[in-house]
């Protein structure tokens, strides 16, 4: 077996440093100086590993979209044998720090940069659509007799509550915010009980 490429490993490290910088400073605020300091490299090596600014942003967009799609697939697999709206809510809201908060922050920062980098739109939209579809399918599987549109609305509401709650993590909000979102998701799910 061949050894992993040092170039590939260094590229991953630089991409991780870029992700941290985007989470802290936004896409445009994540300068080469910030990235180099975070990666522990000299500034010229950042471009060597990730390319020009556009290539860097597109690489980060691809990484974030792939990560979100992978997380959606893991959620689908984890709940495949235990579908249920409550299980979906528990999986999302009780991840106990398993999810990297930078993903959602970078996702939002990249969404805000779509005007400057229109190539980001499709992968970001596709990855979020995958997340919604997984949630919708879980809700539909647990409420087969409920109105399909109602299930889709509930799934969207649950996902949106989760995303909003996750977006507040850098603010270190009161724990009651997370609890309130969790219980709001449960209340939303209860609306399907009356329709089944």
CA–CA separation, 129 and 92 (whole Å)? 16
Location of structure tokens 């087969």 = 144
Average pLDDT, the chain: 89
Mean pLDDT check: name the lowest of 4-13, 60-69, 74-83: 4-13
Sign of CA dihedral 177, 181, 182, 187: positive
pLDDT above 70 for 71: yes
Mean pLDDT of 145-163: 94
User: Residues 70-92, buried b or exposed e (16+ Cβ, 10 A)?
Assistant: ebbeebbeebeeebbbeebbbbb
Domains of the chain: 1-51 (1.10.10), 61-193 (1.10.357)
Kindly state the tokens that stand for 63.
């990484």
pLDDT above 60 for 92: yes
CA–CA separation, 168 and 53 (whole Å)? 28
Most confident region among 31-45, 56-70, 99-113, 181-195 by mean pLDDT? 56-70
The pLDDT score that the predictor gives to residue 96 is 62
């Amino acid at each position: 077996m061949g050894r992993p490429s040092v170039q590939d490993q260094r590229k991953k490290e630089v991409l991780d440093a870029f992700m941290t910088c985007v989470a802290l400073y936004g896409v445009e605020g994540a300068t080469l100086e910030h990235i180099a300091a975070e990666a522990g490299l000299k500034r010229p090596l950042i471009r060597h590993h990730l390319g020009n600014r556009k290539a860097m942003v597109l690489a980060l967009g691809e990484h974030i979209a792939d990560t979100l799609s992978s997380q959606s697939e893991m959620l689908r697999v984890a709940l495949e044998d235990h579908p249920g709206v409550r299980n979906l809510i528990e999986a999302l809201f009780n991840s106990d720090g398993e999810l990297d908060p930078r993903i959602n922050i970078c996702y939002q920062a990249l969404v805000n940069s779509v005007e400057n980098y229109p190539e980001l739109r499709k992968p970001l939209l596709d990855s979020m659509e995958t997340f919604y579809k997984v949630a919708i399918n879980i809700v539909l599987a647990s409420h087969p007799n409920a109105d399909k549109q109602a299930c889709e609305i509930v799934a969207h509401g649950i996902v949106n509550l989760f995303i909003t709650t996750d977006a507040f993590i850098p603010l270190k909000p009161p724990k009651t915010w997370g609890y309130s979102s969790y219980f709001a998701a449960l209340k939303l799910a209860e609306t399907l009980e009356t329709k089944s």
